[in-house]
């Protein structure tokens, strides 16, 4: 069984022994594919270090997180862009719009999002979208940019069935994480109605741990709890969930 964590910040763990333990626990739970979203110029080196250490399991992205988009974002984008020639990347991300933490930078966020979408198109890469309290803003840009090369993952989806439908129609997969296991989140009802061909699994570790680990740091090995919840909702085996969602991740990332 092969499970794929399509979104993990495992590189935030700087202690090599602890990182090794995190990887070992992943492998014990069948989680052997780890995709690493970039957030800012500083995290590119952290990701490169982890990928160098575990090239058979870890796959990098590059991008500027919307919460890191400030007035100087063009300089930071240039810095990140220069790294594309130094290692193979599998997506541009995580990128998007966040109006939960920062509403005053919306116009900067929009421009940074569009710029990185164009960058992904030029590289023929998928994008991984961060969207928090900004569905309409993100969706409007996706509609404007829609085309054969626009594809990827709507990371940490927690929206409605109607929003899920719109995202899927735009050519994106839904990233389903630990919120699925939260009793009153309502995401379970949405996922129960979705075709598994339209979703991938993620942890967003060290954030958003699934039940029974709420209140503790998340880690990629906990992906199995999310997969089990999907299996329960769809009344199928864990192995089938792993196979379908991993195949979806291969379609997206090309590996």
Judged against a pLDDT cut of 90, whether residue 79 lies above it is answered with: no
Cross-strand partners of 153: 128, 173
Query: For residue range 38-62, what is the model confidence (pLDDT) as tens digits?
Result: 999 999 999 999 999 999 999 999 9
pLDDT of residue 102: 82
> 219: left (phi > 0), else alpha (psi -120 to 50), else beta?
beta
pLDDT of residue 80: 86
Judged against a pLDDT cut of 80, whether residue 86 lies above it is answered with: no
Task: Please state, rounded to an integer, the average pLDDT across all residues of the chain.
Answer: 96
With cut-offs at 50, 70 and 90, classify the pLDDT of residue 85: low
Judged against a pLDDT cut of 80, whether residue 159 lies above it is answered with: yes
Average of pLDDT values for 72-97?
A: 88
Judged against a pLDDT cut of 80, whether residue 32 lies above it is answered with: yes
CB atoms within 10 A of CB 217: 12
The span from the CA of 74 to the CA of 89, in Å, is 20
CB atoms within 10 A of CB 1: 16
Domains and CATH numbers, the chain: 3-253 (3.20.20.140)
As a whole-number percent, the residues of the chain with pLDDT over 70 amount to 99
pLDDT of residue 56: 97
Average of pLDDT values for 89-115?
A: 95
Query: For residue range 189-212, what is the model confidence (pLDDT) as tens digits?
Result: 999 999 999 999 999 999 999 999
pLDDT of residue 148: 86
Note the helical H segments in the chain.
16-28, 41-53, 73-81, 106-123, 135-145, 161-169, 187-192, 223-234, 238-253
Residue where the block lists tokens 């994480």: 177
**pTM value surpassing 0.85:** yes
For the chain, how far is it from start to end, CA to CA, in angstroms? 16
Range in 58-62, 76-80, 111-115, 185-189 with the lowest mean pLDDT = 76-80
Query: For residue range 214-224, what is the model confidence (pLDDT) as tens digits?
Result: 999 999 999 99
């Amino acid at each position: 069984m092969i499970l794929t964590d399509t979104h993990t910040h495992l590189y935030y763990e700087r202690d090599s022994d602890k990182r090794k333990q995190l990887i070992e626990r992943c492998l014990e739970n069948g989680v052997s594919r780890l995709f690493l979203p970039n957030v800012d110029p500083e995290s590119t080196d952290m990701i490169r270090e982890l990928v160098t250490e575990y090239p058979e399991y870890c796959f990098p992205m590059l991008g500027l997180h919307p919460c890191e988009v400030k007035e100087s974002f063009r300089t930071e984008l240039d810095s990140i862009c220069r790294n594309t020639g130094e290692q193979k990347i599998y997506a541009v991300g995580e990128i998007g719009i966040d109006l939960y933490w920062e509403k005053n930078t919306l116009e900067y966020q929009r421009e940074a999002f569009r710029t990185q979408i164009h960058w992904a198109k030029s590289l023929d890469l998928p994008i991984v979208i961060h969207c928090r309290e900004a569905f309409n803003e993100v969706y409007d840009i996706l509609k404007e940019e829609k085309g054969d090369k626009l594809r990827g993952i709507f990371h940490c989806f927690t929206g409605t069935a109607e929003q899920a439908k719109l995202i899927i129609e735009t050519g994106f997969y839904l990233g389903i994480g630990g919120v699925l296991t939260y009793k009153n989140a309502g995401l379970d009802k949405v996922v129960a109605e979705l075709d598994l061909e339209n979703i991938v699994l993620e942890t967003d570790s060290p954030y958003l741990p699934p039940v029974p680990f709420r209140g503790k740091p998340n880690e990629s090995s906990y992906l199995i709890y999310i997969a089990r919840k999907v299996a329960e909702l769809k009344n199928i085996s864990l192995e089938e969930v792993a196979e379908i969602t991993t195949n979806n991740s291969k379609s997206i990332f090309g590996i």
